[in-house]
């Protein structure tokens, strides 16, 4: 069985134009928790001014109706984020840094070396229950293709620090399956976070599993985009991913019908159709 981490409430909503209030975001999390998903990334602890969509992270975390078997995660970029995370009852911390100077500069006002130092201190303070996600591991909007050796070096470094889990992210959706396969296999990374910006997201996720990953990030309805690419579509859709995997006999433990119902609900909340295709096309066979 493989694990899916649902990132819609965080990566998805953070890239939506509309800002949803904390109650609605908590409701989304609570609905998702009923589907059998083993992990949900609930919020990001960033400054409200920087990401207004994530304002009230503490309120969202406090409004979660905890369910057994579900791990609730929060994203942390820096020391301040760590302090805020530690005040909540969330289970897992996702510490993120980019693989390039350019991305860290725009995203965290730091060079790669500074971002690495920051992330390392945070991970060292709490290695257990911590995931490190390396953003733009395949391609960067500012620096183009990313050297796989740089990514390997980061993976090894965070492993040595004791990080429980490492995820490689194709943040802007530029990777192709062969690239994902070799980078996951070469680094031994645990997970893959893919966007479907150029329609390679599902093939990439599939190939990540074949290369040894056991964790895939996905977003309900394919929610989200990329702040640096206004026309970019979002993460791979959780329900489309589950349909593909279950169809191929890969167990996910997730109730597909329940996911579809959440995408239908979310489309009404946001007042627009979502990127995901399964919730519109329907599950096959239908019942
Ligand atoms: Zn993402």
Cα 104 to its chain centre, rounded Å, is: 17
More confident position, 140 or 228: 140
**pLDDT tens digits, residue range 92-124?**
999 999 999 999 999 889 999 999 999 999 999
pTM score above 0.95: yes
| Measured distance CA(104)–CA(167) in Å, rounded | 17
Separation of CA 113 and ligand 1 centre (Å): 22
Res 232: pLDDT: 67
Res 8: pLDDT: 97
Write down the mean pLDDT value for the chain: 95
Residue 246: pLDDT band (50, 70, 90) is very high
Separation of CA 287 and ligand 1 centre (Å): 32
**pLDDT tens digits, residue range 188-216?**
999 999 999 999 999 999 999 999 999 99
Separation of CA 173 and ligand 1 centre (Å): 9
**What percentage of the chain carries pLDDT values higher than 90?**
91
Residue 287: pLDDT band (50, 70, 90) is low
- Of 278, 249, 250, 284, nearest to 263 by C-alpha is 278
Separation of CA 171 and ligand 1 centre (Å): 5
Average pLDDT over residues 40-58: 94
Query: What is the domain partition of the chain in residue ranges?
Result: 3-281
Nearby residues of 257 by Cβ (< 8 Å), 6 or more positions away: 283
- Which residue among the candidates 119, 172, 226, 242 is catalytic per the annotation? 226
Residue 18: pLDDT band (50, 70, 90) is confident
For domain 3-281, the question of CATH label 3.80.30.20 is answered with no
Separation of CA 92 and ligand 1 centre (Å): 17
Q: In sequence order, which ranges of the chain are alpha helices (DSSP H)?
A: 13-14, 22-32, 57-62, 79-86, 101-108, 112-125, 148-160, 177-187, 201-210, 238-247, 256-270, 278-281
Active site residue 226: yes
Res 233: pLDDT: 75
Separation of CA 169 and ligand 1 centre (Å): 7
| Measured distance CA(70)–CA(90) in Å, rounded | 11
Nearby residues of 48 by Cβ (< 8 Å), 6 or more positions away: 54, 55
Residue 1 has pLDDT above 90, yes or no: no
Res 224: pLDDT: 84
Res 229: pLDDT: 64
| Measured distance CA(124)–CA(34) in Å, rounded | 33
Separation of CA 194 and ligand 1 centre (Å): 7
Residue 243 has pLDDT above 90, yes or no: yes
| Measured distance CA(268)–CA(272) in Å, rounded | 7
């Amino acid at each position: 069985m493989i694990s899916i981490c649902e990132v819609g409430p965080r990566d998805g909503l953070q890239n939506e134009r509309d800002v949803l209030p904390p109650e609605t975001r908590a409701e989304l999390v609570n609905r998702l928790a009923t589907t059998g998903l083993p992990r949900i990334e609930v919020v990001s602890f960033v400054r409200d001014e920087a990401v207004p969509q994530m304002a009230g992270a503490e309120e969202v975390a406090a409004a979660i109706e905890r369910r057994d078997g579900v791990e609730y995660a929060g994203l942390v970029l820096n020391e301040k984020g760590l302090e805020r995370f530690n005040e909540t009852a969330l289970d897992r911390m996702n510490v993120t840094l980019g693989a390039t100077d350019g991305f860290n500069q725009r995203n965290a006002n730091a060079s790669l070396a500074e971002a690495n130092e920051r992330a390392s201190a945070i991970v060292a303070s709490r290695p257990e229950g911590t995931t490190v996600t390396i953003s733009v591991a395949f391609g960067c909007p500012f620096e183009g293709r990313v050297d796989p050796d740089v990514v390997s070096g980061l993976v090894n470094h965070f492993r040595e620090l004791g990080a429980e889990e490492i995820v490689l992210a194709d943040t802007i959706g530029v990777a192709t399956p062969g690239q994902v396969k070799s980078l996951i296999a070469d680094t031994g990374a645990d997970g893959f976070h893919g966007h479907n910006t150029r329609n390679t997201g599902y093939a990439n996720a599939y190939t990540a599993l074949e290369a040894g990953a056991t964790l895939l990030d996905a977003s309900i309805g394919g929610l989200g985009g990329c702040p640096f690419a206004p026309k970019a579509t979002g993460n791979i859709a959780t329900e489309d991913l589950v349909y593909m995997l279950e169809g191929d006999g890969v167990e996910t433990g997730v109730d597909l019908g329940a996911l579809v119902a959440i995408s239908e609900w979310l489309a009404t909340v946001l007042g627009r159709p979502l990127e995901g295709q399964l919730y519109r096309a329907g599950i096959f066979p239908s019942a």
